Amino acid sequence: MSPAELHADSIVIDGLIIAKWNRELFEDMRKGGLTMANCTVSVWEGFQATVDSICKSQKLMRENSDLVMPVRTTADIRKAKEIGKTGILFGFQNAHAYEDQIGYVEVFKQLGVGIVQMCYNTQNLVGTGCYERDGGLSGFGREIVAEMNRVGVMCDLSHVGSKTSEEVILESKKPVCYSHCLPSGLKEHPRNKSDEELKFIADHGGFVGVTMFAPFLAKGIDSTIDDYAEAIEYTMNIVGEDAIGIGTDFTQGHGQDFFEYLTHDKGYARRLTSFGKIINPLGIRTVGEFPNLTETLLKRGHSERVVRKIMGENWVNVLRDVWGE
């Protein structure tokens, strides 16, 4: 197959998109051949604000049902591929929306939330994020993990502290993930994961989605799609070809105010970090350029079989395990 044919034939999954929701994004998803994306509907929001966010998201999806459809199961992912739409999975980047109510885990699962990050950069009732002294998984957090396992919600550890991540990995009876991370072996950064952390999650049946967020790449805003592919390869050499996928962290369409919201604790309090200028790697600056990644991986010598795994098949397999299908 040509690169374009392989991309068109493959299941293509982005394990994390936090782009601005509108029809233009959905059109770009179709241009890029995305079969499914894990789209963030909660970061710092509590229960009520997250429900409101889901309501708005559902309305927008209904209004653009010619382009997108909701995903609750891996069968939905395959259906989206079959009918030429992009499946939308709701995800949280913070368990804060659960507040102190274990029952909310199942409520949000019924609303279509299939992946939840345990913490976003700082402390919550579950554990500790990557920008604070890490106290590990709380007793309440252990109950949340157990409930997520029970109802079929994947535990995401991308912005989570090292000790909390390790304890979630050991506590969970289902596979967990870094949905969007990069290796600190290529650049030292609080958000990047060490070789040891990557190996630990893979050795315990977990999964790694590799991001291309410029501040975490070695060459920053001067990165190209080949630099992104290098990070994928570096990670795959540690976790293996069955435990790796894509999690771009696309922030397409957002302005500086959104990044200010993300980089302050709770969205408004102390500053946690500063990203500076953000430009995605040359060659994959928009969601619509996703086919370039398939072409790049093939050009770098990866087989069609391995490229299919990286681009989406591995995500389908791990989600099937977590969702209990």
User: 């989600």: which residue's tokens?
Assistant: 319
Supply the pLDDT for residue 275: 87
pLDDT of residue 325: 87
Q: How many CB atoms lie within 10 A of CB 63?
A: 12
User: Per the CATH hierarchy, to which homologous superfamily does domain 3-323 belong?
Assistant: Metal-dependent hydrolases (3.20.20.140)
Give me the pLDDT at residue 283, please.
Answer: 98
Short-list 201, 233, 225, 222, CA closest to 318: 201
User: pLDDT, tens digit, for every residue of 4-15?
Assistant: 999 999 999 999
Where along the chain do its domains lie? 3-323
pLDDT tens-place string over residues 35-55: 999 999 999 999 999 999 999
* pTM check: above 0.85: yes
Mean pLDDT of 75-80: 98
At 274 the pLDDT is: 87
Q: Compute the mean pLDDT over every residue in the chain, rounded to the nearest whole number.
A: 97
Quote the pLDDT of residue 117: 98
